[in-house]
Amino acid sequence: MSIQADIIEQIEKFKTIIIHRHEDPDPDAFGSQAGLAEVIRNCFPDKNVYQVGENNASLEWITTEDKIDDKVYDGALVIVIDTANTPRIDDQRYKKGAFLIKIDHHPNDDAYGDLTWVKTDASSSSELIIDLVNNSNGKLVLNKKAAEALYAGIIGDTGRFMFNNTSAHTLRVTAQLFEFGIDAAWMNRKLDEITPGIAKLSAYVWDNMTITEHHAAYIVLKHDLIKNYKLGAAGTAPIVSVLGKIDTVKCWTLFVQEEDGTYRLNIRSKGPIINGLAKEYGGGGHPLASGAKMDTLTDEQLKEYVAKLDKIAATYTGEDND
């Protein structure tokens, strides 16, 4: 029996299903979570299906979350999607259920769960949900609402098909979603839109970013600066790609100071493998898109980090990295 069949068997078995995803959610976290929830609701209307975690005002066009009591977890199936490791799971009550499933496309460095389905060559967790449906022998089916959420997730993690994680399979399953009459153009525009605050902060980043000798780039955004632009820490998400728009930049890091003084590191690349660097700082992720956290960021710590990032850029041969 395949892992997909095992997952579907558990979905069929449980009356209550609670779906979690990672903190600081992006479109794929919301899209895969909401897409799976809607598929289950559509096919099993007698089940109680919840999706939990903090809401994100900028992504409420994809979905909004449920607020549930601890007692709902009693005897429940918990599915955690799009989350590589347990510290990043939004709402740590995920451990309170009767059975735990992990579905993800990040490297499986933390193989938690009673069932674990990880496929790192998938473009997104949303793509995996479509695969789950397609391999269910008709037990799961898509509808328009699920298709909309899953499309948002796919275009989020592929950069509207600009990133090299876009495969022929990605485009085939995306084509399925179009058959439901989704407004793909509207969703593409939603992901491309920025607020006036983001536009001004983008200009600040381009004016103040540093590019190293070997074409790595970085900038540190302090919490007080972000407040001036009326953005929460999560509101800086559209800024992550800004540094990489410079044609000579190979890899880059956006340091975002949180309200508690710690730093969130958004590490990205056009080719050099950077997830090893993320792991050095307690994080991880994809070869070309990773994240990490630092409790402090002294001048010496910044200098040490940037030297490592620059070395990665310096040793890059220009070969494709999938």
Encode the chain in three state secondary structure. CCHHHHHHHHHHHCCEEEEECECCCCHHHHHHHHHHHHHHHHHCCCCEEEECCCCCHHHCCCCCCCCCCHHHHCCCEEEEECCCCHHHECCHHHHHCCEEEEEECCCCCCCCCCEEEECCCCCCHHHHHHHHHHCCCCCCCCCHHHHHHHHHHHHHHCCCCCCCCCCHHHHHHHHHHHCCCCCHHHHHHHHHCCCHHHHHHHHHHHHHCEECCCCEEEEEECHHHHHHCCCCHHHHHHHCCCHHHCCCCCEEEEEEECCCCCEEEEEEECCCCCHHHHHHCCCEECCCEEEEEECCCCHHHHHHHHHHHHHHHHCCCCCCCC
Mean of pLDDT values over 64-69: 97
Burial classification of residue 183, based on how many CB atoms lie within 10 Å of its CB (0-12 exposed, 13-18 middle, 19 or more buried)? exposed
Question: Looking at residue 286, what is its pLDDT?
Answer: 86
Answer whether 3-192 and 197-314 agree in fold: no
pLDDT at 76 over 80: yes
Answer whether residue 234 shows pLDDT above 60. Answer: no
The mean predicted confidence, pLDDT, of the chain is 94
pLDDT for position 193: 87
Virtual CA dihedral for 12, 14, 15, 20, nearest 10 degrees? -100
The CA-atom distances, in angstroms, between 279 and each of 23, 51, 187, 285 are: 18, 29, 33, 8
User: Which position has the token pair 């309170």?
Assistant: 96
For residue 229, name the pLDDT band (cuts at 50, 70, 90). confident
pLDDT for 65 beyond 70: yes
pLDDT at 236: 86
Structural domain boundaries in the chain: 3-192, 197-314
| First-residue to last-residue Cα distance in the chain | 29
pLDDT above 80 for 240: yes
Of residues 216, 218, 210, the one with CA closest to residue 273: 216
The answer to whether residue 322 scores a pLDDT higher than 50 is no
pLDDT score at 232: 58
If one compares 73 and 57, the residue with the highest pLDDT of the two is 73
Is residue 251 pLDDT above 90, yes or no?
yes
% pLDDT > 70, the chain: 98
- What is the bridge-based pairing of β-strands 48-51 and 216-221? unpaired
Average pLDDT over residues 50-79: 95
Q: What is the tens place of the pLDDT at every residue in 182-211?
A: 999 999 999 988 888 899 999 999 999 999
Band of residue 55 on the pLDDT scale cut at 50, 70, 90: very high
Higher-pLDDT residue of 126 and 235 is 126
**Structural contact between residues 271 and 250, judged by C-beta atoms closer than 8 angstroms:** yes
Average of pLDDT values for 145-167?
95
Q: For Cα atoms 305, 104, 278, give the angle at the middle one, nearest 5 degrees.
A: 5
Band (298; pLDDT cuts 50, 70, 90):
very high
What's the CATH number of domain 197-314, 3.40.50.970, 3.10.310.30, 3.30.460.20, 3.40.50.720?
Answer: 3.10.310.30
**pLDDT value, residue 320:** 46
Q: Is residue 120 pLDDT above 80, yes or no? A: yes
User: 3-192 has which fold?
Assistant: inorganic pyrophosphatase (n-terminal core) (3.90.1640)
Q: What is the pLDDT of residue 72?
A: 98
